[in-house]
């Protein structure tokens, strides 16, 4: 599921949730301290913005997701309640250094960088993305960085900037199956465009892991999920996450089905059969769910497979 689907300032649309989807808000002294730190630096963590149910787990294990380039998106997808507008907010030239400061103080070992779409910028924000990664890699030795990027209209020039910035994982979300994509995503996005982006990232940075994500519960069929897995693997995608779509507000697309944990386990096994290095699937799984652990496990598996040849 897209990490920016449900904002902290919004409420999940009133609907009867099954027992397995009861969300407990993050609490505790560590959470309050880290939240105060992030707020003080005027940074946006998607962990909070998306009301992520895994926030405490991830922050405690040394992983967090920061949303770059402001909170206003230039696109309007039917599943996402992030603010939209023709113009985004002015870029903060000090944002990369602020992220470094937060990473150090939060003692993170794995950081995910994502952003709103910035179609109003000449390069879509690619250079800002890349600079943030480069500063992190320079100033925080040993840090692992994942970038969850927009499509940049599929422009190879912009994708090359991000692919060559030194990120360990290059992610871009397919979001949903082909049939539902036109109704779910902004018209400027698209199923085939996202596959093209993932293909280009793998071409430009073959040693980096590529990653994508699907939201379930929108009316997709198992055969359509299988086809999406096949399409992603055809583009060399290494890592896949699948999670439950939750309707942010009554204005957004309705949930068609609340997928049970047992069904998610079955679909995880189905996806694994297509050869992904790692698959994480479950009601609370999000794009950056246990990202550091997923990265390490996939790398170990990859090395193990290489050693067998």
Distance CA 110, CA 223 (A): 34
What mean pLDDT is predicted for residues 129-150?
A: 95
Q: What pLDDT score was predicted for residue 80? A: 76
pLDDT tens string 222-281: 999 999 999 999 999 999 999 999 877 777 788 999 999 999 999 999 999 999 999 999
Q: What pLDDT score was predicted for residue 43? A: 56
Which is higher by pLDDT, 26 or 170?
170
Q: What pLDDT score was predicted for residue 8? A: 33
The mean pLDDT of the chain is 83
Q: What pLDDT score was predicted for residue 201? A: 98
Environment class of residue 76 by beta-carbon count within 10 Å: exposed (0-12), middle (13-18) or buried (19+)? middle
Q: What pLDDT score was predicted for residue 3? A: 36
SS3 of 219-260: CCCHHHHHHHHHHHHHCCCCEEEEEECCCCCCCCCCCCCCCC
What domains, with CATH codes, occur in the chain?
21-307 (3.20.20.70)
Q: What pLDDT score was predicted for residue 249? A: 72
Which is higher by pLDDT, 281 or 292?
281
Sign of the alpha-carbon torsion through 219, 225, 227, 232: positive
Band of pLDDT at residue 57, cut at 50, 70 and 90: low
What whole-number percentage of the chain has pLDDT above 90? Answer: 55
Q: Say yes or no to pLDDT of 29 above 90.
A: no
First to last CA, the chain: 35
Question: 243 has which bridge partners?
Answer: 215, 282
Distance CA 102, CA 108 (A): 8
């Amino acid at each position: 599921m897209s990490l920016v689907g449900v904002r902290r300032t919004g409420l999940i649309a009133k609907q009867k949730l099954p027992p397995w989807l009861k969300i407990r808000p993050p609490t505790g002294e560590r959470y309050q301290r880290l939240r105060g730190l992030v707020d003080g630096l005027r940074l946006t963590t998607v962990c909070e913005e998306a009301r992520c149910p895994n926030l405490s787990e991830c922050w405690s294990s040394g992983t967090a997701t920061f949303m770059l380039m402001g909170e206003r998106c230039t696109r309007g997808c039917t599943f996402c309640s992030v603010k939209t507008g023709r113009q985004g907010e002015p870029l903060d030239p000090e944002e990369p250094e602020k992220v470094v400061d937060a990473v150090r103080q939060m003692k993170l070992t794995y950081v995910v960088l994502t952003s709103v779409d910035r179609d109003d910028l000449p390069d879509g924000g690619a250079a800002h993305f890349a600079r943030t990664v480069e500063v992190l890699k320079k100033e925080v030795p040993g840090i692992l960085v994942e970038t969850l990027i927009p499509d940049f209209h599929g422009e190879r020039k912009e994708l090359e900037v991000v692919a060559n910035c030194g990120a360990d994982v290059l992610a871009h979300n397919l979001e949903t199956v082909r049939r539902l994509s036109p109704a779910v995503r902004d018209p400027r996005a698209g199923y085939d465009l996202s596959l093209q982006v993932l293909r280009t990232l793998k071409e430009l940075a073959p040693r980096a892991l590529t990653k994508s994500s699907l939201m379930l519960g929108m009316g997709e069929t198992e055969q359509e999920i299988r086809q999406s897995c096949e399409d992603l693997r055809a583009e060399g995608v290494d890592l896949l996450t699948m999670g439950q779509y939750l309707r942010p507000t009554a204005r957004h697309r309705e949930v068609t089905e609340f997928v049970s944990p047992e069904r998610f386990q079955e679909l995880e096994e189905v996806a694994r059969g297509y050869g992904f290095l790692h698959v994480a699937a479950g009601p609370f799984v999000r794009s950056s769910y246990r990202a550091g652990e997923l990265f390490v496990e996939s790398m170990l598996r990859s090395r193990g497979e290489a050693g067998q040849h």
